[in-house]
Structure 1
Amino acid sequence: MAVLLFVGIKSVGPNLETSIQNYVEKQNTSDLQIVGTAGLTKDDQALAKKIAGAEVELGYSFPYADEKNDKNIQMYSYNKADKQNELKLLAGKLPKNKNEIVLDKALKSAYPIGSTIKIDDSQLAESSFKVVGYVESPIYVDKTQKGSTIVGDGSLDGYAYLPATAFDSDAYSIMYLKFADLASKDMFSDSYEEALVKKENQLEKLFDRRKSERKQELVDTANAEIQKNQSEIDDNRMKLDDGQKQINAARQQIDQQKNQLAEQKERIEASGNEEAIRSFTEAQTQVTTAESKLNEQEAELKENSKKINDGQTEIDKARNDLAEMKLPNYLLTERRSNPGFEEVTSLSTRIDAIGNIFPVFFFLIGILITFTTITRMVEEDRKVIGTLKALGYRNSEIAQKYIVYAALTAIIGTVLGVLVGTKLLPPVVFKMMGTSYVFQSYPTNFWLVPIVIAIAGALLATLGATIYILIKDLREKPVALLMPKAPKPGKRIFLEYITPLWSRLSFNQKVTYRNLFRYKARMILTVAGIAGCCGLMLAGFGLKDSIGDSADIQFNQLTHYQAIVTLESDQTTQQADKAVKVIDDNNQINQSLPVYSSQVNFKKEGITDQSATVYGFQNNDHIDDHFTFKKKTKDSSTDFNKDGIVITQGLAKAYDVTVGDKMTMQDGNGKNMHAKVIGIVENYLGNSIYTSQRYLEKISKESTDSNTFLLKTKSMNNNAEKKLSKQLQDTGQVITTTFMSDQLDKQAYASTNLDPVVIIFVVLSGTLALVVLFNLTNINVSERERELATIKVLGFYDPEVTMYIIREMIIFTIMGILIGFGVGNALTWFIITTASSPMISFPLVVPMVGYIFSAGLTILFTGIVMFITHQRLKAIDMIGALKSNE
């Protein structure tokens, strides 16, 4: 069983990695992706191609929120000529015409084949697309968790692919890179990681120089557009001036005509000439009409003048923005940063960490059982060994029988364990969790290292124990071996010196305690076996809850807000009046805290890049309502009036940082900031930096006004969360609203993926506990058969004889359970520590149900063994047992 479990579990991780590797190769998944903050061009593609072996493809991508169907979708361009990230068609057909679209199968219910989806975006030449099929993208390996987005409620529901011809944009959104010289390397190997880091460093150097070129391209393009618009405005202004001059001249003429008519009016009316009066009236009407048209022209001229002034204001603003334009940045992301990749590789790491611990205990318990079994077998053959020695057989010849027996046991057990462990256990695990991922083919390969370790462990457990026992017994003389082995003498035990206690014990209790210490080796082996099995079962429960509760502790005990509202890049919390009104008017929101928030990266030679979220506080007010800072070191400070940053434990561990050290972090534009660490705090999911806006502005030399709201809400269901998210989105001031409930669901999902492994361990641990108890009890009865027959002859009833043995087993079981609780906690701690990473840590959480179940199952198995033992003791042949030594 130990070999089966060790080889089986140690094969799950490598098999899963092989499955991922095969999928990546088959779908030709990119090694890297590059996103430019100012878009990408053919020049960027040509630059990337300078890297040896680089295959470079450009594409379009943008997030889209379909409010009608309440779906957040990541849009991608599809080009049949592209070779990287090949789509797998699941139903329908791939898009050919520019008004066709294919979708993630997860969106099937909202968008059936043949339906139409409306997408209004400036990057697209079309706005109406027909759904023609469903696909699987290698960028998304997790079927249920698609990652986050900057639109809607912040949670991505799926993805879609449009023909590249449907896009109408001068700049591309994303660049895919694959390197020919990395294709032959295992993506999980150190050599692949080292080679990829070298490629990244080369790209970063190239694009660092490219930043200024790209900025100049944008400046030149913008200047050309500004110049064009300025020329148009200047031309329109000249026309406006000419028009104004013409209107002024016309108005002078009209004023002269009005004056002339005023002078003629009295004379003509006095003359009584009807013809003259009629002509005068017509002339007056013409002047009035001309003046009215002139007024209309002047109003139109004023409107045009306003438009020209507005246009000039926009041009001036564009010139000002151009003068303040920062260098564009090129963001590199590895394949493992794709949605789902980190989770599945972390799952492989966790299973491997479990495989390093659990099977070791199975081996130790296996050695224990083998040792006691072989010891008993040799003890039973003492007379045979003595006879053979007396007849002149050498020790090596006598030992052959037992060594061959042990070797055959090891070989047969190892072969069966390797075959069953390799071919049966991994498929069971994959089948139980396989619906979560896109990988449909799970290999069951034989892995040399775990097999060799298993063989060595099996041989040590059998041959080692056999040789040790034989060396001890074969040293004895034939005469001593032919004589029955003298029973161990009784000795005074510690309890006898405590007279008040010892005097109150019954005769049977005194016998039991003396026997416990009389057979110390058996007591230690039995207690160790029970403790090991109980500890393994408890660790199974502890492992599941420790992983599952990391999110619960993070978002209920350390952070106390339920939502993060991220504002548009040009908005601050003081300017976002509409968003503030929505927050103030919602009776389910108890409190909001404005903070500055942004993403930063940490880079250090030899260490994987780490990202973190920066939280900048205006002051110390209400921070404690939203955060609980548990200090990891005594010298840590969380006083944000001080200059410095507070970092989470994952960053401190990854970069070996202590309080007082300085760290360099890089903002989204590639600018480095140097900050002093004043505190290290507990954290389980992701990495965060906490500081004051004042200090952040000091080290960044940029404005750090609050741009995010942290919301404390009442308990909200999914519909209420979506409603609030939509209200905030409709203000036009909010990018996204992220709810912590999504993070809780995600971590619960990650915990569920380990359920198959935990179930297997609990079942096998329970089975092993039964085997250990039965084996050790059976040996105990066999060794003491004469003793038990004696007390039966003395008149003890069958229940009393059974209790003579069972009392010891009850004490062993209680001791084993109590020690097992400690073993289970230690095992759980070791595994979660091994499986932790800078981005995720796990608290030690062992549930009460784990204690109850592991103890209850151990007691149940003890009861079963007691019942079997009772039946055996009733059948003891007293005469035969007492004459056995004659």
Structure 2
Amino acid sequence: MGRFIAIILIIFMGVLLFVGVKSVGPDLTASAQAEIERNNMSDLQIMSTGGLTQADRAAVEKIKGTQVQLSKGFDYLENKKQNNLKVYSYAKSDKQNRLNVTKGHLPRRGNQVVIDKTLADDYPVGSKITLNDDSLKKTHYQVVGLVDSPLYIANEERGNTTVGDGQANGFVYVPFASFDTDVYAQMYVTFDDLKGKTYSSNEYKRQLNRKIKKLDNVLDNRREKRQVELQEIAEKKSQPAKKKLAENQQQLSQSKQKLETGQGQLAQQEGQLKQQEQNLSEQIGTKQAQQQLSQPKQQLAASKAQLKEQAKQLQQAQSKITAGKQELQEKTQVSKPTYLTDKRADLPGFSDYASLSDRIDAIANIFPVFFFFIAILITFTTMTRMITEDRRQIGTLLSLGYSKMEISVKYILYALLTAVVGTILGVLVGSKVLPPVVFKMTGAMYIFQDYKSLFYPQLIVLASLAALLATVGSVILVLFRDLREKPMNLLVEKAPKAGKRILMEKITPLWKRLNFTQKITFRNLFRYKSRMFLTIFGIAGCTGLMLAGFGLNDSIPSPGTKQYTQIDRYQAMVTLKSGQKNRAAQVLDNSDQVSGKLPVRMEQVTFRQKDSSNQEASLYAIKDPKKLSNYISLNKPGKKANQSLPKKGAVVSQRLAQTYDLKKGDHLRFEDEKGREYTIKLAKITENYVGHNVYLSSDYYQEAIGKKASLNSYLVRSQKMTTKQQDRLAKKLADTGQVLNTNYTKDQRDKLEKSVQGMSAIVVIFIVLSGTLAFVVLYNLTNINISERRRELATFKVLGFYNKEVTMFIVRENIIFTIFGILFGFVIGWFLNWFILIYASSNMMVFPVVIKWPGYVISAVMTVIFSAIVMWVTHRKLKQIDMISALNSSE
């Protein structure tokens, strides 16, 4: 019964982990797909640098089976709570991207709004919010509800924005009727023939790419037409300004004429005064003439000065009119707008969710398979040894006239029963218990509440075939071998394997120092090499699985730790208002906590390449490259490197280079937040673990972008600060009126650690199941060892050895097997962890291999404890060996 239960447990755990973990990824996808269909989430989101119109909508709707929805909106920095908000329009008629109300209700009047549920503490239901923007008819609104939006499926991710520090904090939906603009901000598109297709399937992606190509052609044709429309709008808007400039120019011309007349009159008066002075000088003398004419001269000088001042003012007015004309000309010269098409995968949080699913799939393709392999190996060994022990019974049945089939049925049914029971239990728990447990632990991270837990036939079939192969397959293999022998041979037990001199015996000084029992132990180890290797590998496999689990637990949060302590050496980023920095710099210089600051230009940019997903990156232009190493490390992946910033070219983070298969000297194209495209040269690849970063000198920025890299941020180094100290410094900076936002790397690290919590659930399950498997494997292998050596152990008892001494023959071997198994398991665990993390890393996150010392210690200690428990059980079983039956002659 013990062996029967052990085999069922091994198969159960193998199937449980294989089916369960392999089901988590597909279940996450199915849950997201259900949410997509329930909220009618758009397939594409289109934006334009020139805004969108009904004409754009009509052009897109010409593509057959296309459903279009237009939305208004803008980015807004809310001053009271210092939140960067994404403002969208809401209408009852909206069919795409339907909102899910978590508290309150949707807007019913023009002065009501609903807000992101993650901002509930800042804007609770019933509170007021001020949205002071020219696009809106009203300024003050009441929050009447908290909502989830399918555009933001991850609760911790709200994407980029064009205000503040470039990172959005949440969203607001304002009634459509409250907008006072004819231009739309977004166009949402769904395609009829893509409905019902899973978003992650290759078929969906292929068809979507075909749709995008058609869409790109339509939008490309719209660019020139839209440019004309914008030009007309600009011309229309400029008419009052042109009229005003013309009036000013006319007034200026009149003033010039008056000035010229005055200057002419002044010249005439000067001439007359000069002639009068000459005449008086002849009559009364020069001195008396000058005294008599001093007053008229002073009046004339004052008039001259006055005319000179008027001339200066007219010149300044002419300069202003000329500048106004130039500015007006620039405003009326409209370039062709750019249309930006984002897939669903490009939305904030969606790629993280897909990455979580992909990471779990990556782990599921390695960890459970290796786990299952260990389980199958032990099961196969157990079944074959069981039949080998029954050779005499099989021989007896054959001698009594039973057919080979009748004899085989007993073992086949036994094997079939263990496989069926273990597989059914494993499938049920793996499909219906394990995935929901994982989802419950990750549920707070995403807006999905309806989790789909499904059966996947292909996984069940694979697990069932593997279980049957390990049990029924091993039975048939051994029976096929044994039933071919004659009954007489089966009735005679196999002679024990002959002992041989081992290598240790040739080391005479060492061998002489060993006592009798120690010599027997070493000889037995090498006498049954297959048993030794199987036991060591079984223990090593289980220890390795446990260590890999602890390694994953250490490695999953490590990207944030490495990024925000080793790569980013600064503690805060202060984002400034345009062209303002003096008072903010003074606050930083006067702070006791701040030890240094580095002025930089920081922008959020988007890298785009055909047949690859869009990649968001932070671009930094550094004015003082020599100081950069104190704030950001520019190491090459895997080794230390020259920290200097290249004069020509950009430094690009490793994952961005890998995503687009780039190497030194290649060129990258990217777009800024306004859709303008630029090209930079890759000069160096740097180590990076979170997101994509691009670094370049301010000189190269000016060369590549075509404008000066004006300062808009400070990277700040500081001492360790409490939350209150951080808030106090942020408030002082905000009070200067020059700072948009202050972000601390500690907060980003905490946020990142929350985002990978979903993996922790899987890791805990791995560790628990690996430990359980280790115990069952040790128990099973020790049982096999005892059953095969009953005669040997009974002989020792007959010779007068005490029970403890007999047990020690097995215990010594187990101790040696356990030590070597643990050491070998450390190697297996490290490589298993490394292999899993390669597949688990995504474009936006790289997982380094990190296994802290407690992982090694706990894995080893757990293995030793399991081994000790098994040894205690072994001792009890050895005490019960019946010496007479064990030594009974076979003949």
Verify the 8 A CA contact 2:230 2:334 in the aligned structure 1: no
Q: Tell me the residue number matched to 1:207.
A: 219
1:262 maps to which residue? none
Gaps of 5+ in 2: 1-12, 262-306
1:552 aligns with 2:561: yes
Q: Which moved more, 1:755-764 or 1:416-425?
A: 416-425
- Per the alignment, residue 443 of structure 2 pairs with 434
TM alignment of 1:486-505, pairs within 5 A? 486-505=495-514
Which of 854, 860, 871 is residue 859 of structure 2 equivalent to? Answer: 854
Please say if 1:836 is aligned against 2:841. yes
Q: Shift of the alpha carbon at 1:24?
A: 0.9
Match of 2:525 in 1: 516
Distance 2:722 2:591 in 1: 15
Residue among 606, 630, 647 paired with 1:625 = 630
1:692 is aligned to 697
| Alignment CA distance shift 1:139-1:609 (3 Å) | closer
Q: Which residue, out of 199, 207, 216, partners 1:187?
A: 199
The 1:509/1:356 distance shift into structure 2, 3 A limit, reads same
Which of 81, 89, 99 pairs up with 2:101? Answer: 89
Stretch moving more, 407-416 or 858-867: 407-416
SS at 1:331's partner residue?
Answer: strand
3-state SS of 2:449 partner: coil
CA–CA distance in structure 2, aligned partners of residues 489 and 336 of structure 1: 66
After superposition, give the CA deviation of every residue in 1:829-858 in whole Å (9 maximum; x if it has no partner): 111111112222110011212112111111
1:417 pairs, out of 418, 426, 436, with: 426
Matched, 1:815 2:820: yes
1:685–1:841 CA contact under 8 A, matched in 2: yes
Which stretch shows the higher mean deviation, 523-532 or 358-367?
Answer: 358-367
Provide the C-alpha distance between the structure 1 equivalents of 2:619 and 2:258, rounded to a whole number of angstroms: 62
- 1:133 is matched with which residue? 145
State the distance in 1 between where 2:722 and 2:165 align: 13
CA contact (8 A) 2:155 2:445 kept: yes
Partner of 2:170: 158
Equivalent residue of 1:608, what SS? coil
Deviation at 1:337, TM superposition (A): 2.9
Query: Contact 1:410/1:458 (CA < 8 Å) preserved in 2?
Result: yes
Displacement after TM superposition at 1:26 (Å): 0.5
Distance 1:396 1:649, change over 3 A: farther
Match of 1:386 among 383, 395, 410: 395
Of 681, 687, 690, the residue aligned with 1:682 is: 687
**TM-score of the superposed pair, with normalisation by structure 1:** 0.87
Aligned to 1:752, which of 737, 754, 757? 757
Equivalent AA in structure 2 for residue 544 of structure 1: N
Tell me the secondary structure at the aligned position of residue 114 of structure 2: strand
How far did residue 666 of structure 1 move?
A: 4.5
Moved more, 730-739 or 374-383: 730-739
Question: Displacement, 1:66?
Answer: 3.7
The Cα offsets for residues 46-70 of structure 1, whole Å up to 9 and x where unpaired, read as 3332333222222222344444345
Deviations, residues 791-831 of structure 1 (Å, cap 9, x unaligned): 11212122211111111111111111111111111111111
* Residue pair 1:60, 1:77 contacting (<8 A) in 2 also: yes
C-alpha change, 1:403 and 1:201, in structure 2 (3 Å) is same
Which deviations, in whole Å up to 9, do the C-alpha atoms of 1:118-150 show, x marking residues without a partner? Answer: 322222211121222222222222234444545
Task: Please say if 1:354 is aligned against 2:366.
Answer: no
Compute the displacement of 1:186 (Å): 0.7
Distance 1:532 1:215 in 2: 66
Give the aligned length.
Answer: 833
CA-CA distance at 1:157 after TM superposition: 4.2
2:483 pairs with 1:474 = yes
Q: Is the 8 A contact 1:32 1:333 kept in 2?
A: yes
Instruction: Work out the percentage of aligned pairs sharing the same amino acid.
Output: 47
- Cα distance 1:317–1:732, how it changes in 2: closer, same or farther (>3 A)? farther
Q: Name the amino acid aligned to 1:783.
A: E
- TM-score of the pair, normalised by structure 2: 0.86
Query: Structure 2 vs 1, CA of residues 318 and 56 (structure 1 numbering), >3 Å: closer, same or farther?
Result: farther
Q: How far is 1:749 from its partner?
A: 0.8
**Which residue of the partner structure matches residue 611 of structure 1?**
616
Distance 2:157 2:614 in 1: 23
Q: Which amino acid aligns with 2:591?
A: N
Cα shift at 1:307: 12
Distance 1:71 1:665 in 2: 27
* Other-structure match for 2:348: 339
Contact kept in structure 1, 2:795 and 2:883, CA below 8 Å: yes
Distance in 1 separating the partners of 2:379 and 2:889: 25
SS of equivalent residue, structure 1 residue 445: coil
Give the letter for the 1:747 counterpart. L
Q: Name the SS for the 2:123 alignment partner.
A: coil
Q: Give the 3-state SS of the residue equivalent to 1:55 in structure 2.
A: strand
Q: Choose the corresponding residue for 1:32, options 25, 44, 69.
A: 44
Q: 1:306 to 1:448 in 2, by over 3 A?
A: farther
Assess if the C-alpha contact under 8 Å between 1:237 and 1:305 holds in 2. no
Structure 2: distance between partners of 1:145 and 1:512: 61
Structure 1 counterpart of 2:267 = none
Note the 1:32-111 alignment, pairs <5 A: 32-111=44-123
Question: Does residue 780 in structure 1 map to residue 785 in structure 2?
Answer: yes
1:581 pairs with 586, 589, 594, which one? 586
CA distance in 2, matches of 1:97, 1:146: 27
In the TM superposition, what are the counterparts of 1:755-766 in structure 2 within 5 Å?
A: 755-766=760-771
Give, in angstroms, the shift of residue 310 of structure 1.
Answer: 9.8
Q: 1:386 to 1:492 in 2, by over 3 A?
A: same
Give the Cα–Cα distance (whole angstroms) in 2 for the partners of residues 248 and 673 of structure 1.
52
> Counterpart of 1:10?
22
The reply on whether 1:789 has 2:798 as its aligned counterpart is: no
**CA deviation vs aligned residue, 1:663-685 (integer Å, no higher than 9, x gap):** 44445555554544332222211
> Aligned partners of 1:23, 1:503: CA distance in 2, in Å?
74
Over the aligned positions, Cα root-mean-square deviation in angstroms equals: 3.3
CA distance in 2, matches of 1:177, 1:350: 29
Q: What is residue 6 of structure 2 aligned with on the other side? A: none
1:863 equivalenced with 2:868 (yes/no): yes
Amino acid at match of 2:689: Y
Q: 1:172 to 1:723 in 2, by over 3 A?
A: farther
Confirm or deny: 8 A CA contact 1:153 1:725 kept in the other structure: no
Range moving further from structure 2, 166-175 or 211-220: 211-220
Shift of 1:233: 4.5
Query: For residue 855 of structure 1, what is the amino acid of its counterpart?
Result: A
| Among 658, 676, 698, the residue aligned to 1:653 | 658
Comparing 679-688 and 587-596, the one that deviates more: 587-596
Quickly say closer, same or farther: Cα 1:645–1:785, change in 2 above 3 A: same
1:429-468 aligned at under 5 Å gives the runs: 429-468=438-477
**CA distance in structure 1 between the aligned counterparts of 2:856 and 2:331, rounded to whole angstroms:** 66
| Secondary structure of the structure 1 residue equivalent to 2:197 | coil
1:589-615 deviation digits (Å, cap 9, x = unpaired): 322223343344444443323333333
- Pair 1:196 & 2:205 matched: no
2:602 to 569, 582, 597: 597
Offset at residue 326 of structure 1 (A): 4.8
Q: Distance in 2 between matches of 1:68 and 1:805?
A: 74
The match for 2:325 is 316
The 8 Å contact of residues 153 and 722 in structure 1, kept in 2 or not, is answered as no
* Contact 1:154–1:736 under 8 Å retained in 2: no
1:286 aligns to what? Answer: none
